[in-house]
Chain A
């Protein structure tokens, strides 16, 4: 088990338990976390699952997936150094990943 802490743009915080290997996007859409659209279902072709990862957890998220870099340039909210597409970030055993949801996905 691991967990993800989602912070909404208005500051609302929600923590959810994740199965190991589940993506930050899957966990969010399964539990109705607002602000992660994920229209393409994790196939890296929509850029509507953008999140800002807490600096301290970035290393836990693994490297950018092939093409994720290009897709991150197309997100609606500004790309920051801590930007990731949440469908590409898998939660590892025992990890807690803290993310902030951007003000908009489109």
Chain B
């Protein structure tokens, strides 16, 4: 039974308390039934094993949301256009599309962009150094890096990049008036449509070319299928990657021992460090944390027993990544930030067939972004408090003052 020590969702509290709270909940019960702002009640999943089970079990589907039979249970009204994307498709149809798209954002393709990402990172670091010995790392590095990498990855020609980046940042910026966002969004949309058409004619080595020419026997992806993918990549690819980058740097700067361990073998240790940053680092940035975030819900098509709790046919479930990433049954001393942790198969980028499509890109950008920063500026230190915008869903980091 939940009491004040295991109540869920819970409000902002100091991060160590929030972690302890998450740990107690996962021990107490696998799921909590939560009233949502939109849609029906839903079950939040707290245990890692249960999350793994649900995210790979075809008895949990999203079709009812795609068919508009049900409202997505969430804390916000789910944007209509997303309901028609891959994220809400099920079964074989989804598998086929997902694989076509994943080939276009494959580890191999991302790998090919690694060196270029390091170059972009170093250009940004050069600019910071040229300006003095302090910077707002969120603005000068963590935000521009993913935007620039993504525009190259998508295949925006160099001469169009300034325009493209301006559009993308306007659409995503927090303080742009709504009508300006709409107008810019339209420009961005039609620009991408033209680019897809051009790449269909004359393919190159980039994402839009492979999406425009992706083929599975007699199927090709249509503009209507490609556009939401490109838009999701833009929206998810900037903000989230920027947030993780900033959180990672901040966590390393606040945990000197971990930063030392990383610097001892930067290239060898950056990959596990990034996994641990994804798992836990938001809890290490020094700002309070709440409990209750979740991935997009899924609906049970039949009664399913999850660790002793019966989820009935038609009921919705979602995974709280912060919860499962601190499940003591899956992660020893899950409150500890340990960049060499052996057991860090974190679920921040979700898991299973609906896991984050841009995950290879996000991971590569974090690895290169953090490694290059510490390589060039090994004396980097915090120079003020990190500021996060709590009023926006992704809670983006707006200020990360550093010095070197």
CA distance A47 to B103 in the complex (A): 9
* Residue B108 CB within 8 A of the other chain: yes
Chain B residues closer than 8 Å to A32, beta-carbon distance: 342-345
B320-364, CB < 8 A from A? 342-345, 349, 351-353, 355-356, 359-360, 363-364
Report yes or no: B52 in contact with A106, Cβ–Cβ below 8 A.
Answer: no
Chain A residues closer than 8 Å to B272, beta-carbon distance: 34
Report yes or no: B109 in contact with A40, Cβ–Cβ below 8 A.
Answer: no
Report yes or no: A105 in contact with B345, Cβ–Cβ below 8 A.
Answer: no
Report yes or no: A105 in contact with B352, Cβ–Cβ below 8 A.
Answer: no
Report yes or no: A104 in contact with B111, Cβ–Cβ below 8 A.
Answer: yes
Interface residues of B, dominant DSSP: helix
CA distance A87 to B342 in the complex (A): 20
* Residue B33 CB within 8 A of the other chain: no
* Residue B95 CB within 8 A of the other chain: yes
Report yes or no: A76 in contact with B110, Cβ–Cβ below 8 A.
Answer: yes
Chain B residues closer than 8 Å to A40, beta-carbon distance: 351-353, 355
Partner of B56, one of A41, A67, A70, A74: A41
Report yes or no: A41 in contact with B106, Cβ–Cβ below 8 A.
Answer: no
B89-122, CB < 8 A from A? 95, 98-99, 102-103, 106-111
CA distance A29 to B355 in the complex (A): 16
**In whole Å, how far is B54's beta carbon from the nearest beta carbon of chain A?**
10
Partner of A45, one of B95, B108, B271, B344: B95
Report yes or no: B352 in contact with A43, Cβ–Cβ below 8 A.
Answer: yes
> Quick one: CB contact mask for A34-55 with B, threshold 8 Å, 1 for yes?
1001111111111110000000
> Quick one: CB contact mask for B107-142 with A, threshold 8 Å, 1 for yes?
111110000000000000000000000000000000
Interface size on B, residues (CB 8 A): 30
**In whole Å, how far is A39's beta carbon from the nearest beta carbon of chain B?**
5
**Given A32-B342, A46-B102, also A41-B352 (CB < 8 A):** yes
* Residue B168 CB within 8 A of the other chain: no
Chain A residues closer than 8 Å to B351, beta-carbon distance: 39-41
Partner of B102, one of A37, A45, A76: A45
Give the residue among A45, A73, A76, A105 with the most B Cβ atoms within 10 A.
A45
CA distance A29 to B345 in the complex (A): 7
Partner of B349, one of A39, A45, A47: A39
Partner of B107, one of A38, A43, A44, A105: A105
B262-283, CB < 8 A from A? 271-272
A48-76, CB < 8 A from B? 48, 67, 70-71, 73-76
CA distance A98 to B47 in the complex (A): 32
**In whole Å, how far is B280's beta carbon from the nearest beta carbon of chain A?**
16
**Given A74-B108, A74-B109, A76-B108, also A43-B353 (CB < 8 A):** yes
Chain A residues closer than 8 Å to B359, beta-carbon distance: 39, 46
Report yes or no: B108 in contact with A43, Cβ–Cβ below 8 A.
Answer: no
Partner of B98, one of A45, A74, A76: A45
> Quick one: CB contact mask for A17-43 with B, threshold 8 Å, 1 for yes?
000000000000100101001111111
CA distance A51 to B139 in the complex (A): 39
**In whole Å, how far is B276's beta carbon from the nearest beta carbon of chain A?**
12
**Given A41-B355, A74-B102, also A48-B360 (CB < 8 A):** yes
* Residue B212 CB within 8 A of the other chain: no
CA distance A42 to B363 in the complex (A): 19
Q: Enumerate 5 A-B pairs (CB-CB under 8 Å) in ascending A order.
A: A46-B360, A74-B107, A74-B108, A75-B107, A104-B111
Name A's B-contacting residues (CB within 8 A). 29, 32, 34, 37-48, 67, 70-71, 73-76, 104-106
Name B's A-contacting residues (CB within 8 A). 52, 55-56, 95, 98-99, 102-103, 106-111, 271-272, 342-345, 349, 351-353, 355-356, 359-360, 363-364
- Rank and list the top 3 A-B pairs by shortest CB-CB distance, nearest first: A74-B106, A76-B107, A41-B352
